[in-house]
Amino acid sequence: MRVIIVGASKVGFALARHITEEGYDLVVIDRSPEKIDAITDAFDCNGYVGNGCCSGLLRKCGIDSASVFVAVTKNDETNILCCSAAKKLGVKRTIAAVRSPEYEKEINFMTKELGVDLLINPDRAAAEVGIKMLRYAETVEREMFGNGAVHLSSVEICENGVLAGVKLPAVQKVLDAKILICAIDRGGRVFTPSGKDEIKTGDKIVFVAAEADMEKTLNKLRITERRLKKAVIVGASNVGYYMTGILLRRGIKVTVIDNDEVRCRQMLKSFPKADIVNGDGTDSELMEKELKGADACVAATSRDEENLVISMFAKSFGTGRIAAVIKNIDYETMLKKSGINHVFSTQDVALIDIIKDVRLIDNATDATCGSMKWLYALNSGSVEAAEFEVGTDFKLQGILFRDEAFKLKPGILIAVIMRGGSVEIAGGNSKILPGDHVIVVSAEHRILSLADIVG
């Protein structure tokens, strides 16, 4: 399958890495010869210098045989125009990165009239991820499958926690809940555990459970969701803008601090119910005043250094939940080591959303074996979970999991089987039938097709 990317900036470069790793035929377009040289030197792809909106260049790049066209330049209008041109020239699927709040109300027009099949808003998606993080003071990621019937979580095991030192076969008894641990991140090494493995302090475990068992597990781990009442957002960036809107709609009080008077006026016009403060988020006196009574602080300025300082100050002040937008991975590591659990990147969110869509397009025709319905990535993309509907040609259908004939590739785990209205955490006596929905988790493979998981 051929994929064309317009834009070789940080997002385009990182996306090119993922696309080539998964074996797709990739072409990258950018106006900068230096960026094209860098990306073609780093990856097995073709690069062209020029304007991704021009029909002549797009034809030269093989647009007529491309399945997916992605425009991720820093300019929203360029991305929209590139996708419109690509659609006119026959590409099957177009994806545009569009960040500006001005286009929020134009999505239907752009998809129906301008030829943009999917709009990815990295800033809005990052805002939603950040708000999810703020549900808990601890490091917790949580997603749902099967219309909310199945929950997938990533949780860090703290010192003296109930699971520290527990071997996997004893986990369900200790928790009094039916869960399945799918992956363990131990010091950056992510692996699929076996029955011989023991959970250690500092491990980050990824596990699945039905909703009731998930709640019971989180309670046993002393992780509780607390309702936000007041949040302080430092930075009237696009991420700050979207977070403000989402929180206000949920009835949460929001204070926004920014040192740009024009941006403050724009925020006040958009969100008259928010408290908008024109000031410096690195001013300790101002921050002490605004953080009093706040449940959470979000550092969402355009500069990593400022977000680092703001987060560290909020931590020292005693704010319970702190989130920071960070681009530099070194700063991300520094913040996490300092106890700032919630760090997120607009780039990472955009990549995950685009990769999801590319894979869904690639597997849309594989209905007889099993079509992918959804894909989630956790733990910074190192663990993936995909939901598949089992087709009639799946080779392992009807075979008990404990049977020797039931063989999966190493590092692949079928975690959950959904049949009708029932949810089954997979075990040795489980089996898969056509029409079932299954959740496949992997820490060692990219999940592309249900047929590919067979050993």
Tell whether the model's pLDDT for residue 365 goes beyond 60.
no
Tell whether the model's pLDDT for residue 340 goes beyond 90.
no
Q: How crowded is the C-beta side of 328, counted as CA atoms within 13 Å?
A: 11
Enter the tokens of residue 367: 């209905």
167 phi, psi to nearest 5 deg? -80, 150
Q: How far apart are CA 203 and CA 168, in angstroms?
A: 13
- In tens, the pLDDT along 142-195 reads 888 777 788 888 888 888 889 999 999 999 999 999 999 998 989 888 888 888
Q: In the structure, what pLDDT confidence band is assigned to residue 380 with cuts at 50, 70 and 90? A: low
Q: In the structure, what pLDDT confidence band is assigned to residue 368 with cuts at 50, 70 and 90? A: low
H/E stretch holding 152 reads strand 150-156
From 430, 436, 455, select the one nearest 445 (Cα to Cα). Answer: 455
Range of lowest pLDDT (46-55, 217-226, 284-293, 408-417)? 217-226
CA angle 321, 257, 102 (to 5 degrees): 100
Q: What DSSP character marks residue 158?
A: P
Tell whether the model's pLDDT for residue 371 goes beyond 80.
no
Whether the Cβ atoms of residue 19 and residue 358 lie closer than 8 Å to each other: yes
**Helices and strands: H and E segment counts in the chain:** 14, 22
- Matching residue, tokens 């703290």: 158
Q: Tell me what pLDDT residue 11 has.
A: 87
Q: Give Cα 199 to chain centroid, integer Å.
A: 25
* Stretch 310-337: mean pLDDT: 82
Enter the tokens of residue 182: 């799918």
Q: How far apart are CA 72 and CA 129, in angstroms?
A: 20
* Stretch 273-294: mean pLDDT: 95
Radius of gyration of the chain (CA): 23
Q: In the structure, what pLDDT confidence band is assigned to residue 41 with cuts at 50, 70 and 90? A: very high
Whether the Cβ atoms of residue 407 and residue 433 lie closer than 8 Å to each other: no
- What's the predicted TM-score (pTM) here? 0.80
Q: State the CB neighbour count (10 A cutoff) for residue 329.
A: 12
